[in-house]
Amino acid sequence: MKEQNNTVMSKVERYYEDYGIRARELKKEGKTVIAYLCSLVPMEIITAAGLVPFRIRGNVNEPITKGDTNLETIACPFIRSCFDLSVKGWYDFCDGIVIPHGCDSMTRTYSTWRYTLGLPYSHFINVPHTVSGPSMEFFTQELNTFTKSLGRFAHKEIADSDLTEAIHLYNENRDKAKALYDLRKSDPPLISGTEMSKILTVGMSLPVTESNELFAEVLEELTQRKEPTVHEAPRIMVDGACIDNTNFFKLIEDSGANVVVDSLCIGTRDYLPHTDVGGNPLDALARRYLDKINCPRTYREKAEGAYEKDLAARFGDIGSLGKEFKVDGVILYVYKYCDPFGFEVPARKAYLDSLNIPVLYLEDEYSAGTIGRLRTRIQAFLEVIE
Ligand code: SF4
């Protein structure tokens, strides 16, 4: 049900602070909730099965205690936090878990998740590391296996029409997310990076129909804002992997900048690419999740010619976003032990250098305490680009 103006952002706040509150309610109403990690799990298939997809989130304010008895501490701190919360029962309303072959931290810990949580359903999606023809064929088959496996669990034969319907719903969700991004093109932007991060994170915890409704309400409320809530300031893009908390955005914005766009998993990487419609739905989903999501865990053939040409082919989407949102600088934020992004730091920096966009590289733990310590470096960077 639609809430009154000025209360939509408070609803977002509530869903953000008590992450999973709606999925918990749905579970009580008899729905089946399937948790997943990473941007590479096709939520469309879970929705087409009549189940509720729910993205597991970590919490930078919660110390990792129980999870470390099962997961080694040299794994990605974000994954360790997600696992820790799951072991502590924060997500005990979930009936199953789906983990894709994203990075090693995800892949190598799948059996630990499966064994420790002991949920009625668990599935690993094998995602190839290249976008070649055979890889695409393999991945389509892999999605077919996932569809069948989930169908058996849900006691439902998932038809192409169910998948197509879900694809339309998620494409609508991406259109709305893009409309929200567009509100940040003005100077100052109509919506802060902190608010945007909250909205997008919350969207991952809701059934897509409810997420569409919420995004529509947020859009309506924000476009009626008479005055932006932020002031003109250097325009920053945040580049990196999975940021599912607002602490880092808030730190940048409290330091005197506006985060106007991102190249992140719970951000443009996840929310912008559409799934093609009109052909075989599983082929289209394979294309979207393997090829259209530009994540460093997927290798792309080297572009012919000089190194610069290859950089442009690999990171052109970041450059285009930078131009579209008129960014003054990029903060590249990578978690300790994150191999896919860690290995790419020199190349990402070289690409941004070639565009004359100043870049600050920060490596961090997944913890509110360590995020706070980055303030001085961010302030120094902003002084340089102002
Ligand atoms: S932050 Fe890096 S290591 Fe951690 S889950 Fe994401 S890609 Fe994997």
Per-residue pLDDT, 4: 45
Note whether 8-156 and 163-385 share their fold.
yes
Sign for the CA dihedral angle at 144, 145, 147, 152 comes to positive
Whose Cα sits closest to atom 5 in ligand 1?
Answer: 79
Please give the backbone phi and psi of residue 237, each rounded to the nearest 5 degrees, phi first: -105, 135
Is residue 117 within 6 Å of ligand 1 at its C-beta?
Answer: no
Name the residue of 36, 71, 74, 76 whose CB sits within 8 Å of the most ligand 1 atoms, as the mutation to test its pocket: 76
pLDDT at 351 over 90: yes
What's the whole-number mean pLDDT along residues 176-182?
Answer: 98
- In angstroms, what is the span from residue 297 Cα to ligand 1's centroid? 9
What's the whole-number mean pLDDT along residues 133-140?
Answer: 97
Domain ranges of the chain: 8-156, 163-385
pLDDT at 346 over 60: yes
Is residue 79 within 6 Å of ligand 1 at its C-beta?
Answer: yes
Beta bridge partners of 263: 239
pLDDT at 107 over 50: yes
Per-residue pLDDT, 72: 86
Structure token digits, residue 151: 């169908």
Percentage of residues in the chain having pLDDT higher than 70: 98
- In angstroms, what is the span from residue 269 Cα to ligand 1's centroid? 14
What's the whole-number mean pLDDT along residues 292-303?
Answer: 89
Instruction: Please state which CATH number belongs to domain 8-156.
Output: 3.40.50.11890
- In angstroms, what is the span from residue 109 Cα to ligand 1's centroid? 12
What's the whole-number mean pLDDT along residues 48-75?
Answer: 94
The matching CATH number, chosen from 3.10.620.30, 3.40.50.11900, 1.10.10.410, 3.40.47.10, for 163-385 is 3.40.50.11900
Name the residue of 39, 40, 55, 79 whose CB sits within 8 Å of the most ligand 1 atoms, as the mutation to test its pocket: 79
Say if CB 194 and CB 249 are below 8 A apart: yes
pTM above 0.85, yes or no: yes
pLDDT at 3 over 50: no
Is residue 76 within 6 Å of ligand 1 at its C-beta?
Answer: yes
Q: How far apart are CA 313 and CA 304, in angstroms?
A: 10
Per-residue pLDDT, 336: 94
* Strands of 33-36's sheet in order across: 52-55, 33-36, 96-100, 121-125
pLDDT at 159 over 50: yes
